[in-house]
Amino acid sequence: MSAPVSREYPQHPLTGVGVVCWRGDHVLLIRRGKPPRIGEWSLPGGLQHVGETVFEAAMRECLEETGIRVRPLRHLDVIDSIRRDAQGRVRFHYTLIDVAAEYVGGEPQAGDDAMHAEWVHRDVVPTLGMWTETVRLIGLGDPKAR
């Protein structure tokens, strides 16, 4: 078995998968339970496992973090998230692959890396102080925006 990969000061970028899932006028969001961006609103998601497709990772992570079952529909975008410390060293480096997904079932409940999960009305999203890329991705995945 290989040693666990360090998320902080990693040796290489880590691949994360995020899920944009709508249920009517509400998007599924979490409050992050771990760094980076601990306590901030975000999309459900997490690291892709070896041997797992992006869509498989999206389904697993969404279920683990929120209790919601989804069916991935399409890729939305790929984003680099690189955070440096005060000395300029790379503290976190993620390549984030975000997907649009269809709600299948379940009710939001925080689990795994999330401290909270809920359906949030589209009008509230801009007021939550989320990372601008997250807000942009939510818009890309909004079925009413197409």
* 90-111 per-position pLDDT tens digit: 999 999 999 999 999 999 999 8
Which carries the bigger pLDDT value, residue 113 or residue 51?
51
CA angle 91, 136, 94 (to 5 degrees): 20
Rounded average pLDDT over 111-138: 93
Contact assessment for residue 11 and residue 30, using Cβ atoms and an 8 Å cutoff? no
Fold (CATH) for 14-145: Nucleoside Triphosphate Pyrophosphohydrolase (3.90.79)
Instruction: Show the beta-strand stretches assigned E in 3-133.
Output: 14-23, 26-32, 41-42, 45-47, 69-84, 90-105, 114-121
**Cβ neighbours, 10 Å, residue 101:** 26
Which of these, 130, 124, 68, 78, lies nearest to 101 by C-alpha position? 68
